[in-house]
Amino acid sequence: MEHKRLYIPGPTEVRKEVIEAMNEWMFGHRSSTMTDLFTTITEDTKKFLDTKNHVIISSCSGTAFMESSIMECVDKNVLCATCGSFSERQADIAERLGKNVDKLEYEWGTAVKPDEVREALEKKHYDAFTCVMNETSTGVRNPIEKIGSIMKDFPDTLLIVDAISCLGGDYIDIEKNNIDVIFTSVQKCFAMPPGLAVCIANEKAYQRSCNTKSGAWYAGIKRNIDYYKKKGQTHSTPAISLMLAYKKQMKHMLNEGYKPRSDRHKKMAEYTQNWAKKHMDMFPEKSCWSQTVSTIKNTRGLNIADIKKEIDEKYNMVFANGYGKKLKEKTFRIGHMGDHTVESIKELTDAIEEVADL
C-alpha cells in the first residue's frame, strides 16, 4: 500500500520502527517471554503517566472500557455529561446496560460546565459521573481538572473519564484530579497501530468492581487486575504483535516525557488554531479548544469532500471531514496528535491552502 500521511483524529501516523517491531516470530502467550513483554509495557505505562494506579492493557478498543467501567462501577444511578457523539455514546451504553441515566446535555461545540456538575451531584446520589475529556466529534476539551476538584466533595461518586483522543498528548495528573477510571485507545496520542486499549483504575474503582453483581468478563477491571497480579499476563490471548509495537513506542514516549509530549501537542494545536482563525474559524467555543484535534468551521462554504480527495491524490495526506450528519461539510478536522510536529502539520495546511485557493 502507498503511504498516506494521516492527519485524522485516529488512527494517526505510526513511526516505521514501531511497525517493524511487529515483524517478529510468534511466541506463546503463556510463556516467560510474554510475561516479560506484558509486565514491561504495563510498568512503562505507569511510569509514563506518573501514576500508582492499576494499569490494564487489553486487545480491544477503548469503547470496551467505556462499557465495562459503567457496568462495574455503577449499581443503579449514573450521571452522564453529553456534548458530542462520543459522550452521547457513554450515556447510550449506560442505558443499554439498564442503569438509571440522567444527562447533563450540552450543545455540540460547548463544554461541560463544572458548576452545573456540582449542582446535579448535590441534588441526587450517583454511583458515577461520566465525562469525555476530549470530544473527538467537536474538538471540545472539557475542564476535567475543575470537575475533578469538585469530585473530592462526592467521594461515593466515581469519576469515569473517556480520554480516548487525548491521553498521552494532553497532560493530566490522574490522582491529583480525583479520576477513578480513565481510558484510551493506542491509535490516538500514543501513535501506535489500532487494536489495544489502556485503562487506568484506582483502588476505589477496583473495589467497586469486586463488589459488583454483574461484572464484565473480557474488559472487567477486577478480572484483568487480578490476572495481572497473579500471572503478569492477560487472561485471554492478546495481540502479541501489537504489544511488541507498544513496547517500542512506549520507550520512545518515556524518552520524550509526558509533559514535553503534551507541550509539543500544545504547540501543534496553537499553530493549527491560529491558521484556522486566519482563513476561517474554529467550531467550538473559544475557552475549550482541544489540544489534539481541531474542528474548523467551514465559513467559506468549501467542498470539503473534493478538497480531501485532491489532497489525498496529490499529496498523499488525509484529514477528516466533519463528524456525522450534524457537522459533515460544515466543519473539517485536523488531528495534530501522536508523533506529528508543527512542521508536519504545516505541510498539511500548506496543501489545503494550495488546493482550496485560500
Grid coordinates standing for 79?
450521571
In order, the DSSP letters of 127-166 are SEEEEESEETTTTEE--HHHHHHHHTT-TTSEEEEE-TTT
Burial of 288-309, coded b for 16+ CB within 10 Å and e otherwise, reads bbbbbbbbbbbeeebebeebbe
Which helix H or strand E contains 356, and what residues bound it?
Answer: helix 342-356
Residue ranges and CATH numbers for the domains of the chain are 16-255 (3.40.640.10), 258-356 (3.90.1150.10)
Question: Quick check: 213 pLDDT over 90?
Answer: no
In this structure, the number of other CB atoms found within 10 A of the CB of residue 160 comes to 27
- What are the pLDDT digits (tens) for 49-87? 999 999 999 999 999 999 999 999 999 999 999 999 999
Q: What is the pLDDT of residue 135?
A: 98
Q: 61, 71, 30, 311: which is closest to 215 by C-alpha?
A: 71
CA distance 155 to 148: 11
Tally helices (H) and strands (E) across the chain: 13, 15
Residue 301 contacts by C-beta under 8 Å, 6 or more apart in sequence? Answer: none
Mean pLDDT check: name the lowest of 44-53, 57-66, 206-215, 304-313: 206-215
- Determine the distance from the C-alpha atom of residue 229 to the mean position of all C-alpha atoms in its chain, rounded to a whole number: 26
Confidence band for 143, pLDDT divided at 50, 70 and 90: very high
Percent of the chain beyond pLDDT 90? Answer: 98
- The model's pTM is 0.97
The dihedral of CA 318, 322, 328, 329: what is its sign?
negative
- What are the pLDDT digits (tens) for 104-126? 999 999 999 999 999 999 999 99
- What are the pLDDT digits (tens) for 249-266? 999 999 999 999 999 999
Contact 144, 151 (CB under 8 A): no
Percent of the chain beyond pLDDT 70? Answer: 100
